[in-house]
Chains A and B, each alone.
Chain A
Amino acid sequence: MYAVILVLILLALMAVAYQLGRRRSQSMAGRAGGIRKLHSLPGYYGFYAAIWCGLPALLVLLVWLAFQSIIVTKMVVADLPLATRSLSEAELGLVINDIRNLAEGNIVSRDVSPEMQAAADHYTNLNRIGSAALVVVAISMALLGIALGWRFISPAMRARNQVEAVVKALLVLSSTIAIFTTIGILLSVLFESIRFFRMIPLSEFLFGLQWSPQMAIRVDQVGSSGVFGALPLFLGTVLISLIAMLVAVPIGLMSAIYLSEYAGRRLRAVAKPLLEILAGIPTVVYGFFAALTVAPVIRDSGSLIGLDVSSESALAAGVVMGIMIIPFISSLSDDVINAVPQALRDASFGVGATHSETIRQVIIPAALPGIVGGVLLAVSRAIGETMIVVMAAGLSANLTVNPLESVTTVTVQIVTLLVGDQEFDSPKTLAAFALGLMLFGVTLILNIVALQVVRKYREQYE
């Protein structure tokens, strides 16, 4: 909370610095013979002073806040008794958690020993010192900044250029966030995956036929030790995505064709936005719809014709995922079909082709690269879709291609492995990151290929 107040104080100081800078440049200009003697408008001198006041202080604030908790934790751990420090990483983590909870007045999972109480006090103390130091440092930096800015302002100083340089640097910085995000994703899944593959060999993970991630919590506990063969997950993901594409591609493509080639203006004006509603519905709603409505319908109609359908069948999840993807396919196909030049249609009509012959033999072949690109993007979306499968597909990793049985997917397992308690030294938790790495890798390749195909296609007709 104090951080928010500190930021507000800094903003107020910046406003003050702006006014001071402006006034100073104006008074200097007055002495030098009018505002034209200034290199830049007075406002720029104001911004110049404000930047000197705010920028360094805010940077320090940001870095400080990001690392205070890490450093304080390190210091607390360093002062713990040797016996505690030599615990395994996971147990140490639990101790640290308890210390934190104790310090923040939350409920603690074990009896409070005097050492822990001391550590918690130490933790609170360090945090308090850190925050106080931050306030002092940040505010004095801001005041120093004002003084420096005040000193630097002179009529000949190129305030506008300097302010613009800072602004441009901020713009460049913003644009790199996309890259840092990708790097962040890559590093966060990669590091934990490497730790996972140290425990479980890559070949077992990729080609193993059995998935059962339940680990014994204590080493001496009798029971399962976890098997991490991800093939059933991959197969389940492929199966559900395939069902989804079988629903979405024909319906999406045909409705795009019908709406852009045949439908009258009025039908198009009504049907198109109605179909696009499907794109705006959150996936959790689809998941609920799949579990509550579609799965029972499929199970009941299956038992009518004597089929034994699982209540968490791949079919239900796949069909609903397909419905979700329909607008995605149809709007992409619509774009692509409209990009086919009129000249090709004219040529086909000109030799006496019917409308459907023109569509099937000229327009679709011409639009095919674009449609394929769109379908690839849709596949990537189906593979990465989480909520529908979490709510409507099963948890048991069956190695089957029967759509009436229950299968599980990569995303479902990531969610089940990470929701709840996490232990970052157990393959059970780390497996989620290995699966995440697979997911990210596959969708990345699909996306890049698809975007490239679509881009080439657009260029062809531009």
Chain B
Amino acid sequence: MNSHSDKRVRTIDRVNASLAERYARERRFRTAGLAAVSLGLLFVSFLFISIVGNGYTAFHQTKIALEVFFDPQQLDPDGRHDYDALTRADYGGLVKASMRNSFPAVKTRQEKRALYAMVSSGAAFELQHMVLADPSLIGTTQAVWLTADDDIDMLVKGHIDRSVPESERRVDDRTLAWVERLEQEGALKRRFNTAFFTNGDSREPELAGIAGAVMGSCYVLLVTLLLAFPIAVATAVYLEEFAPRNRWTDLIEVNINNLAAVPSIVFGLLGLAVFINFFGLPRSAALVGGLVLTLMTLPTIIIASRAALKSVPPSIREAALGVGASQQQTIFHHVLPLALPGMLTGTIIGMAQALGETAPLLMIGMVAFIVDIPGGALDPATVLPVQIFLWADSPERAFVERTSGAIMVLLFFLVTMNALAVVLRKRFERRW
């Protein structure tokens, strides 16, 4: 008995002896965990700060105030206000003339070219729009705010450093002096950048907008939604409610789970080989993009829809079958309505995934440079993420800003969709 209690004392002493070391290890482990979480959160904030920091200026555009004389000699020599003639007139000349008026000291050809370059080549179209909307402007002199060139825009926004030597700067000293003069006169202002939201793509950053890409995304998502939702719901209903448990349905299940994890670019190869090469559908069309994304998002929606069907308790089915409803009546009258919110949530999440997808669309030619805003599912189109990819590849500093701006718009759509899914889930979530 005595030796036994000796041993006991020894045990607890040994336990106590190692405690400090063990608690130190505990603390280290805990710190490592906290560090991992902090690192993850740091990445999130770093990502967002980098995007927003680069992108928030994209929503403003520098404009130059000019006194433009709408010269009837140039625009409408015969004074008939003919629409075609007005459309074809030389508006660029008006811009140049008024620039010369503002800077009478500029004489040489080379200087003049530098001076004209301060205004965007899109300025002429802005004047054209004004005249076509209101031909009575002809013959008058108006103070107009015209879009500045992207280099000037970058300079005003501070993305081009004025203090570095001229040789390392994209804007030379002469232009810098003009810009500073205009700034002092108050003839250089930053306005809300409507062009960014209403224009299609352009080689000129100050004219490039996301409208074409947003429309393209809309068409692609529309096709995806119209195809993926009914097919996914039908598949889920079949697998969950009708399918016998056998090899065939096992095969379908393995297939669905595997397709959910297949790299998206492989779907692009499928689209290229089957839809474009075999069926001869047009390249770059939103329809093909929608088809590819349908196949890609189907597994996501099917898995979510099956989970929603599973969560409807069997008692509901039994109750309906018990009053003599057929199996399909039971499903379509009772089970499906109860599972619908869950299915919609899964669909929205699948659509968000489709909205952010880029790689498979590159394969089917949606990467082309497209200025026009697409008017249908068969027109050549691009989508928002591909537009981001294209702009990210462009060397101009101004495109960095637009890329980040477009990313912000894309993230806004994604956040909205996910928030919608969360709200839907919260609102209709049932506990049985």
Contacts and interface: CB of A to CB of B under 8 A. Distances in A.
Interface of A: 1, 66, 69-70, 73, 160, 164, 167-168, 170-172, 174-179, 181-182, 184-185, 187-189, 191-192, 250-255, 257-259, 261-263, 267, 271, 274-275, 277-278, 280-285, 287-289, 291-293, 323, 326-327, 330, 352, 354-357, 359-360, 377, 380-381, 383-387, 390-391, 411, 414-415, 418-419, 424, 432-433, 436, 439-440, 443-444, 447-448, 450-451
A69 B279 contact: yes
Interface in B256-281: 256-259, 261-270, 272-274, 277-281
Given A177-B231, A177-B235, A391-B389, A185 B414 contact: no
Nearest to A286: B47
A274 B39 CA distance: 12
Contact of A289 (B35, B51, B272): B51
A285 B388 contact: yes
B362 interface: yes
B328 A275 contact: no
B279 A175 contact: no
Q: Which 6 A-B pairs have the closest CB atoms?
A: A384-B263, A258-B33, A282-B356, A188-B273, A254-B36, A174-B234
Contacts of A261: 33
A436 B266 contact: yes
A83 B297 CA distance: 46
Interface residues of B, number: 90
B273 A447 contact: no
A254 B32 contact: yes
Contact of B362 (A174, A326, A419, A436): A419
Contacts of B335: none
Interface in B291-337: 295, 298-299, 302, 326, 328
Given A69-B280, A178-B255, A185-B269, A443 B389 contact: no
Contacts of A381: 261, 263
Nearest to B28: A356
Given A258-B37, A275-B40, A451 B258 contact: yes
A275 B22 CA distance: 31
A363 B357 CA distance: 37
With most chain A CB atoms within 10 A of its CB, the pick from B25, B39, B352, B376 is B39
A282 B326 contact: no
B410 A451 contact: no
Contacts of A354: 22-23, 25-26
A330 B26 CA distance: 21
A167 B266 contact: no
A391 B394 CA distance: 12
Given A171-B235, A288-B407, A257 B33 contact: yes
Nearest to A452: B254
Contacts of B191: none
With most chain B CB atoms within 10 A of its CB, the pick from A66, A284, A380 is A284
Given A181-B295, A278-B44, A287-B389, A436 B358 contact: no
Contacts of B357: 282
A251 B39 contact: yes
With most chain B CB atoms within 10 A of its CB, the pick from A171, A254, A281 is A171
Contacts of B266: 185, 189, 384, 436, 439-440, 443
Contact of A178 (B46, B298, B378, B411): B298
Contact of A385 (B263, B269, B270, B356): B263
B43 interface: yes
B343 interface: no
